[in-house]
Amino acid sequence: MDPNHLKKKLLEQYDGTDLEDLDGLEEVETCQGSVFNIKSEDKLKFYLKNQEKAVECLISDLKLVKGIGNSKENKLKLDGYNNLEDLQNHPRFGRAAGEVLSMIRSYDAQTIASILCERYSQSHPQMLNTCSFTDIEDFIFMDIETLGLKNQPIILLGEASISSDKITVNQYLLKDLNDEPAVLAAHLDSMNDNRVYVTFNGRSFDVPYIKDRLNYFQIDHKLDHHHLDLLHFSRRFYGNHLPNCQLTTIEEHLLGMERVEDVPGSLVPDFYKTYLETDNIGPLIPIIEHNRDDIISLARIISRMNEQID
């Protein structure tokens, strides 16, 4: 549907409806004041590779030891060094192999990620093995909507977590532009040390943007969490098979999902400004739904990727 027609339709449909009438809306108190949260739940079966299988995959990768590449690994395996345990007996690489093996057997996602980052890109399939060392409740699927690409307010910050075959989405919404510090504080409140970000281009956009806004409001933060950016994994997994690696394209081909009356991110500022100007919540609805769909898709896509590497 043409965006202007959609906007007109929504303004008519929601005329006289208050923000407080939205399903799942609650007020959340933070150290920066109160903020509206739209809470929703969906069923979701989330797949994680068995931890012992992940360990086996990691310790069979001799390239995790500095100085070993593909050809050296092949030669070492021909000589009987089939995994890092065997490699501990090697005169040159034994000590380093033991150190890497010890880090893997810490069963700590952040520690294992630090080894992998030294040897591989952030999109290497081995990085997905860190999922197996993360409690399912510690994944945080996150996406933001903003009024611009830089130095503009975050108008909606959506995040989700999983437990018991259920995904719970919390969407912190600016009812007006004064609420942004409270939105940021609500997100910080959910970020304990064990959290693992799952985003789509969040390493380049969402997380740096959040940090910039926190700095702007002089809010202390420590957002250096382990981060799985599905844009980069998607390019590696599906880049040769799909027309492009946009999230909606991946949804369509991988999940069989097609969005209806979706508002692209480029039109979010226009729709939100119309909400502010008219005091009509209609233009907010597709922004909220777009953000929620993005977040749930993140969980479904990484679950599918985990199945593929098993």
For residue 214, how far is the Cα from the chain centroid? 19
Strand order in the sheet with 154-163: 25-30, 33-43, 166-173, 154-163, 139-146, 196-199, 226-229
Q: For residues 198-214, give the mean pLDDT.
A: 98
> Which of 132, 147, 165 is a domain's end point?
132
Q: Residue 109 in 3-state DSSP?
A: helix
CATH number at residue 291: 3.30.420.10
| Domain extent for 256 | 3-47+135-309
Which of these, 166, 233, 242, lies nearest to 202 by C-alpha position? 233
Report the pLDDT value the prediction gives residue 261, as an integer from 0 to 100.
78
pLDDT bracket for residue 3 (50, 70, 90) = confident
**What are 111-146's pLDDT values in tens digits?**
999 999 999 998 999 999 999 999 999 999 999 999
**What are 26-73's pLDDT values in tens digits?**
999 999 999 999 999 999 999 999 999 999 999 999 999 999 999 999
Q: Look at the block and give the residue holding tokens 């010890």.
A: 102
Q: How far apart are CA 48 and CA 86, in angstroms?
A: 28
Which of these, 14, 5, 25, 2, lies nearest to 282 by C-alpha position? 14
Report the pLDDT value the prediction gives residue 309, as an integer from 0 to 100.
86
pTM of the model: 0.94
Percent of the chain with pLDDT strictly greater than 70: 100
* 249 & 167 share domain: yes
> Which of 103, 132, 161 is a domain's end point?
132
Per-residue pLDDT for 259 more than 90?
no
> Which of 89, 111, 132 is a domain's end point?
132
**What are 103-120's pLDDT values in tens digits?**
999 999 999 999 999 999
Report the pLDDT value the prediction gives residue 80, as an integer from 0 to 100.
98
Burial of 183 (0-12, 13-18, 19+ CB in 10 A): buried
Q: For residues 86-111, give the mean pLDDT.
A: 97
Report the pLDDT value the prediction gives residue 113, as an integer from 0 to 100.
95
* 228 & 98 share domain: no
Report the pLDDT value the prediction gives residue 260, as an integer from 0 to 100.
80
Domain count, the chain: 2
pLDDT bracket for residue 98 (50, 70, 90) = very high
Q: How far apart are CA 95 and CA 117, in angstroms?
A: 20
Report the pLDDT value the prediction gives residue 258, as an integer from 0 to 100.
86
Q: How far apart are CA 216 and CA 138, in angstroms?
A: 28
Per-residue pLDDT for 1 more than 80?
no
Cα torsion 98, 130, 210, 142 to 10°: value is -170
* 99 & 151 share domain: no
The mean pLDDT value of the chain amounts to 95
Is residue 38 within a helix (H) or strand (E), and if so which, with residue range? strand 33-43
* 78 & 188 share domain: no
* 169 & 81 share domain: no
Q: Quickly list DSSP for 272-294.
A: HHHHHHHT-STTHHHHHHHHHHH
